[in-house]
Amino acid sequence: MGKTIIPIGPYHPLQEEPEFFTLTVEGETVVDIDMRMGYNHRGIEKLSEGMVFENSTFVVERICGICSTSHPYAYTRAVEDVFPMEVSMRAKYIRTIIAEGERIHSHLLWLGLAGHFLGYNTVYMWAWKLREEILDVMEILSGNRNNYAMFKPGGVRRDIRAEDIPICLKKIDSIVPTLIMLKKAVLDDPVLHARLKGVGVLSYQDAIDFSALGPTSRASGVARDVRKDSPYGAYQEMDWNMIVTQNGDVFDKAVVRILETVESINITKYCLENLPDGEIDANIKDVPVGEGIGHIEAPRGETFHYVKSDGTNRPVRHKVRAPTFMNLPTYKATIVGQTISDATIILAAIDPCYCCTERVAVKDDRGRMLYNGQDLVRLSREKTEKMRQRMGGK
């Protein structure tokens, strides 16, 4: 049977973000997938290197709208890793509250979009309606619905007022019955069982081989969670469960996300109820020479930041690795052999976030890489030299 190539994107009605897939199909079956990105590249790392340490949090916040806590959190941890310093307990609790609130709204967002991809718009509307309550809580706590600007190296930028806590708790409590209803509606629905079980299976071995992260790997039985493995924030202060399932199909990925939402609600409530007193900011004056890494568990997996400092007020190098960067190659394992009608939900199942993942590479028309890091440094030096000559040859 002949092979057909089906292009999806870059501007596809189903996906919000631009990205381009080429599915190679034999009849109904997908035999290969290739993807092309770069429609979202904004040069964040370079921008961050031109900013002072405190302002970089605002840049990394805008890497991705849904991970607008994960990136600043990982970045601030990287800066705090450059030199040993202690963040106050209250700041840690506030960070945990914001991070978990983001996880709740991100997972609900995914659940809604997954329902939308399946043509099950009821789930979409319910999940996004629930999400509004969490966004209200975030607005009360931080002042904005999405980009919270709560993080700074050494602490948090904004305190939680005592009179806001009961309102937030009430709002969070109010979504629990609906969430339980939604959980039952999704997990006990025979239609969804038939549609999602056994679709897009990522086996345990594949999850290890592709270094899958976050819910994508936990759905395949890989018990990895930065919150458990190398605790940060306030996560070791309370009991919570890491959700791990064994099958690795799309259904299990949904199960992991829904159950994690419930866990996150419990963590947020615990933190709000037991918020300790104290300072919220360690007031870092300057960052010494050195390099640091910071990693945290974002809704999609481990977010990793690397910061190198030369003693000035700006980072010399800032490197970001978003979880989707590791999860995207798992398409090779999950989508091959599936039918074309299941492709959309499998592509959505890792909760991809392309704007986190964008990299830049200069290639010729045969696909060969033209510049590596050293070449770019050389080009930059040549350009500086030219500019210097133009400005008077000093």
Contacting positions for another protein (CB under 8 A): 10-11, 13-14, 16-18, 38-43, 46-47, 50, 58-59, 62-66, 68, 109, 112, 124-125, 128-129, 132, 145-147, 353, 355, 360
Structure tokens that stand for 147 in this block: 């980009």
For another protein, the closer CB: 128 or 210: 128
For another protein, the closer CB: 41 or 319: 41
For another protein, the closer CB: 3 or 145: 145
- Considering the complex, what minimum distance in angstroms separates the CB of residue 129 from another protein? 5
- Considering the complex, what minimum distance in angstroms separates the CB of residue 105 from another protein? 10
- Considering the complex, what minimum distance in angstroms separates the CB of residue 220 from another protein? 26
- Considering the complex, what minimum distance in angstroms separates the CB of residue 229 from another protein? 28
For another protein, the closer CB: 130 or 250: 130
For another protein, the closer CB: 136 or 279: 136
Of the candidates 57, 51, 81, the one whose C-alpha atom is nearest the C-alpha of residue 307 is 81
Cβ distance 192 to 118 under 8 Å? yes
Helix, coil or strand: residue 309: strand
- Considering the complex, what minimum distance in angstroms separates the CB of residue 106 from another protein? 10
For another protein, the closer CB: 241 or 372: 372
Residue 386 CA, distance from chain mean position: 40
The Cα 197–Cα 171 span in angstroms is 34
Structure tokens that stand for 38 in this block: 């770069």
- Considering the complex, what minimum distance in angstroms separates the CB of residue 274 from another protein? 31
Residue 242 burial (10 A CB sphere; 0-12, 13-18, 19+): middle
Phi, psi (degrees; rounded to nearest 5) at 288: -75, 180
Cβ distance 328 to 61 under 8 Å? no
For another protein, the closer CB: 121 or 372: 121
Answer whether the bond into residue 10 is a cis peptide, omega within 30°: yes
- Considering the complex, what minimum distance in angstroms separates the CB of residue 174 from another protein? 14
Structure tokens that stand for 5 in this block: 């190539």
Sign of torsion over alpha carbons 26, 29, 34, 39: positive
